[in-house]
Amino acid sequence: MEAQTAVGCKGRCSCKYVHFLFKPEVGQAFVDKDAYILGEMNNCRFNDNDKLGYKLSALTCQSSLLLKQVF
């Protein structure tokens, strides 16, 4: 699956990589209890990684601010 530009991200911005546990039965991704920030990038793109049942995604800039509250 090709990377897609995240909705709501225009131009260059800093995004965080985190692990999401994807639940196809409800069509949503939930932050895993052991989620951790893998790094940063200067463009907002979604990348799928089906290994170990995880969905590796780059958050939008707005969502990354919400993520900081979780941690």
Tens of pLDDT, residue by residue over 27-70, are: 555 554 444 333 333 333 444 444 433 333 444 444 444 444 44
The burial of 14, by beta-carbon neighbours within 10 Å (0-12 exposed, 13-18 middle, 19 or more buried), is given as: exposed
The answer to the question of residue 40 being in a domain is no
Measuring CA to CA, how many Å separate 14 from each of 7, 23, 27, 49?
Answer: 14, 26, 26, 20
Predicted local distance difference test score (pLDDT) of residue 8: 45
pLDDT at position 13, please? 40
Q: Quick check: is 58 in a domain?
A: no
Range of the domain at 15: 1-26
Q: Is residue 36 domain-resident? A: no
Distance separating alpha carbons of residues 16 and 14, to the nearest angstrom = 7
Go through the chain and tell me how many residues it has. 71
pTM: 0.18
The total number of structural domains in the chain stands at: 1
